[in-house]
Every structure is written in C-alpha cells, then in structure tokens.
Amino acid sequence: MPKRISILSALVVWSAMAAAAPARQANDTAAMLDRASRYVEDYEKSFAAIVSEEHQVQKIVRADGRVKRTRELRSDFLLIKTGPAWAQVFRDVIEVDGKPLRNREDRLRKLFLENPRTALTQARAIAEESARHNVGMNRTGNSPLLPLVFLHPREVKRSRFTLSSDTLSFEEFQTPSLMRTARGSRRFDLFARGSFVVEAATGRVFGGEFLAIGPPESYSASLAVRYLEDPQLKLMVPSFARERYWFDGKPKEDRVDVESRYSNFRRFQVSVEEKIKTPN
C-alpha cells in the first residue's frame, strides 16, 4: 500500500509540474518580449540621425539557380527620425559597378545640415532617383532596421510570440499587415513570421529575420539582418543584411537576391531650431 501511495503522489507532483510548464513558458516569453521591446524603443531614439556606407550586391537569379545579372552598388545610407514614426531611410547611390557617380559624396548628410527645411523632399527625390539603379522588380529597398519594428511597443500586439532559449519567434496576424504591396490598384497584406536572437539580460537584439509570403498575384520577401556594436557610437548597428524577392505563385519566374554590408557609421545633428517638416 505505501508503494502505491508513493506512485500516486509522484503522479500528482508530475501532473502539477506539467500543468505549470505552459504558464512558466508564457511568463518567460512575456518577460523576454518586454525587455526586447523596451530595448527597441530606446534604440529607436538613439538611432535618430546616422549615416553609413552601404555596399550592396544585387543578383537576378533564374529558377534553376543560374545568375542572370549582377549589379554592385555603393551608397550613402541615412536613417533620420523626423517625428513619432520609425526613422526614415534614404539611399544615395555613389558608385555603380565600380564606376563613381559625379558629385555624390556625402550629399545626403550635407542636405540635412545645410537645408533642413527642404531636406526631406529633396532626400526623397534622391532616393527615388537612386532606386533606378536596382535590378529586378521595382523597389526602393528595405531598411536593415525593419525587423526591429515588430518588437516596438507600438507594433508587438500585431504578432504572437514564442520563446526558445535566446530565440524569440513571432507570427503576424493583425490586418492590415505591417508590410503591404500593391499590384495595379489592388493592395495586399504581406503577413510576416520570423525570429530574433536576443540577449536575455538586456533585451539587446543581435539578429532578426522574417519571411513575408504574398498572394499569387504579388511578390514575397525575406530579410535577415545581423547587428554588431559599433565602438565609436557605442550602439548596435546593422553589419550585414540578406534580402530575397520572388513570386511565390510563379516558381519559374526569376528571383532577386540582395546582400548588403554596412560600415563607417557616423552621427550628425540637425539644429533644433530648424524644424524638418514632412510634406503632406
């Protein structure tokens, strides 16, 4: 009889532990998500006016894996925060396939320093002009900070999160999705799912990636980014990014692969008295 009671007691304890495990997992996930979310919120404020150099290799790849075309770009890459929304991204291509373009060096940074009242309008024009050097489908290019947006306090409610060791995974479910695409007059959701490598103690993000599958009429996209601490800025910065664009419903179509490396980060200041206004 005592042996039977001992077995029953063990089963009761095991059942209680098994029942408590999901609750502990949910609490651990919530705690990690809270730390990562607070980190991203602080990070957004720190990454307010920074320019770097982007070295990018774009490839159009056939369905059989053969490379159809390659384009190599070197650009000034600027991130600037002009309001409550996430920092805006501007690229100014300064070299195409090893050939420098005239009068391009550092003009984005100078634009915001010397002409802040009209800088946004001019910077958008520069970015759109630079986009013509891309190969493949029409696009302006993603920001290497884009994965972090899913962790921002403004956006975390749109996704479900799970935790495994130091990896925080997410799956977006809220409509409209954070990323959308258009085909003619129609707009489509691009629901994302992905993961982050997070430092448990601080919430610092060392890597982020996502996959966003569009409907057959539109393209799908993936983006993976690694972040490293810059010794000068004392801030985590993107070091490497890999993008891919393809039509999920058209397996025989070409895809676009993009690899980007970032260096020479430096901060600049825009005078507080000179307001940068976003055009209507």
CA proximity to 205, closest of 47, 22, 23, 24: 47
> Can you give the pLDDT at residue 235?
92
Q: Which range (34-38, 42-46, 68-72, 96-100) has the least confidence?
A: 42-46
Q: Hey, what are 9's tokens?
A: 């007691």
- Region 92-103: mean pLDDT is 87
Residues 6+ apart with CB under 8 A from 214: 181, 188, 190, 220, 221, 248
pLDDT band at 116 (very low <50, low <70, confident <90, very high): low
| pLDDT value, residue 271 | 43
Handedness of CA 128, 133, 139, 141 (dihedral sign): negative
pTM for this entry: 0.81
Angle, helices 107-114 vs 119-131, to 10°: value is: 160
94 three-class SS:
strand
pLDDT digit string, tens, across residues 23-45: 677 888 999 999 999 999 998 88
128: left (phi over 0), alpha (psi -120 to 50) or beta: alpha
For residue 91, give the nearest of 141, 26, 155, 27 by alpha carbon: 141
Tell me how far apart the alpha carbons of residues 59 and 246 are, in angstroms, rounded to a whole number: 12
Strand ranges inside the chain, DSSP E: 49-61, 67-80, 88-96, 99-100, 159-164, 167-172, 179-183, 186-190, 192-198, 205-212, 220-230, 235-246, 255-267
State yes or no: pLDDT of 46 exceeds 70: yes
Over residues 130-163, the pLDDT tens digits come to 788 899 877 766 789 999 999 999 999 999 999 9
Residue 133: the pLDDT is: 87
pLDDT of residue 9: 56
In percent, the amount of the chain with pLDDT more than 90 equals: 48
* Half-sphere exposure for 111 (CA within 13 Å, toward CB): 24
Amino acid at site 139: R
How confident is the prediction for the chain on average, in pLDDT? 82
What pLDDT is attached to residue 34?
Answer: 96
